[in-house]
Structure 1
């Protein structure tokens, strides 16, 4: 993670486990009429294999060890924020190239369904470890505000297209487990073919600013945005 930018555990899921998760996603995708949706916790996650994985003591202990290796201290909280994100249909393109730093230091990415052929596969694009952990909440908020806005994201995307910036591209394989320093790494997913589906589970662990007012507000805003986007994409056309 420090030198390569990420760590991959190949074949983390068995074929049976992967098929079960893919079926859960398929049923959920039908409810959302083939458009983008995301779940931040809740029954849609807790009642599946993803909830069981997030609650497993060994999984939690491993993430704690990784956090200590990266910071030299224990995480403020052992809570794991679990997210299920599905990019599909035309609305999915709006959720692409949204460069950001995660609030948590350790990000675990579990691909469930990913296009393996073609150009628009929704590859993960990364600028690994661009910054250190900011123990100042204010500095962290300012850095995120500088880069996590529509103008900055358009400029970054344009610079990549013209090869002025050369990020690391990672083609994700369903069933593998990927870990990286989400807090330190500027990252996004590339566009996915609207006819395909890109479903990933994300486990966030170890927010260096956990407990701060700014962190709580940002988390609530992100959750409301995800819920609003899912609601809009499931409304019937007028």
Structure 2
């Protein structure tokens, strides 16, 4: 049975400090070899249903009975993310704030199209759990990031305007072009399966590098703490991934 260990308060402070100074923090060996084996079996099963091409799974209910779902439902994991949220925002998260998990698997020709989409997350804290990462070739799906280039915005409108400017297709192409030409200098993070990578997703412009189509890159993403969760405007204009997956603002299937 999966068991995420409670993280000591001093370790949480160190993780937050690393996220501030380095752009990200690492919790090593957060997943055991047995956990990784379980997660990989799940990925294999899901990939075989999709002809070994790109797929994504959104929301805790869609990944029940998997390692990914167990981590997203872990009280100790939520406590870690909640403590980090309070450090970065100065406020405790809402009692009913949930972790929103997403599984992404890059593979095949469709996987090539799912890279270099620079974006800010809607939530303050993002955790990345790699389970399958290529180790050969030039492109292994590295995490690419411009860390902490903005603060938590007090206004949801300010956040919406920023995202409208930076999240459109032209801006993403310009950013990717600038990185390829060496004009822009993000940090590049090599991912190791079993480790847990934490960063301020709201504050950091980030994406994944492309992955060789003959290889597989599978990760679990865990988003927590929307600073604008009470904003009607934010719910209307942001959160497209949840809407596409037909989920409510809590990442759950609406009750019919």
> What TM-score results when the alignment is normalised by the length of structure 1?
0.91
The aligned length equals 227
State the SS of the aligned residue for 1:155: helix
| Root mean square deviation, CA, Å | 1.5
Tell me which of 148, 159, 178 is aligned to 1:129: 148
CA distance in 2, matches of 1:177, 1:23: 19
Tell me which of 127, 131, 145 is aligned to 2:164: 145
Is the 8 Å Cα contact of residues 11 and 176 (structure 1) preserved in structure 2? yes
- Please tell me whether residue 202 in structure 1 is matched to residue 182 in structure 2: no
Tell me which of 162, 174, 180 is aligned to 1:155: 174
Ranges in structure 2 where 5+ consecutive residues have no aligned partner = 1-18, 247-256
Tell me which of 57, 61, 65 is aligned to 1:39: 57
CA distance in 1, matches of 2:245, 2:193: 23
> What TM-score results when the alignment is normalised by the length of structure 2?
0.85
Equivalent residue, structure 2, for 1:216: 235
Note the C-alpha offset of 1:25: 0.2
Q: 1:194 to 1:128 in 2, by over 3 A?
A: same
Note the C-alpha offset of 1:213: 2.3
State the SS of the aligned residue for 1:3: helix
CA distance in 2, matches of 1:30, 1:105: 34
- Please tell me whether residue 92 in structure 1 is matched to residue 92 in structure 2: no
State the SS of the aligned residue for 1:16: helix
State the SS of the aligned residue for 2:21: coil
- Please tell me whether residue 110 in structure 1 is matched to residue 153 in structure 2: no
Tell me which of 23, 37, 62 is aligned to 1:5: 23
Higher relative CO (Cα under 8 Å, sequence separation at least 6) belongs to 1
Note the C-alpha offset of 1:31: 0.5
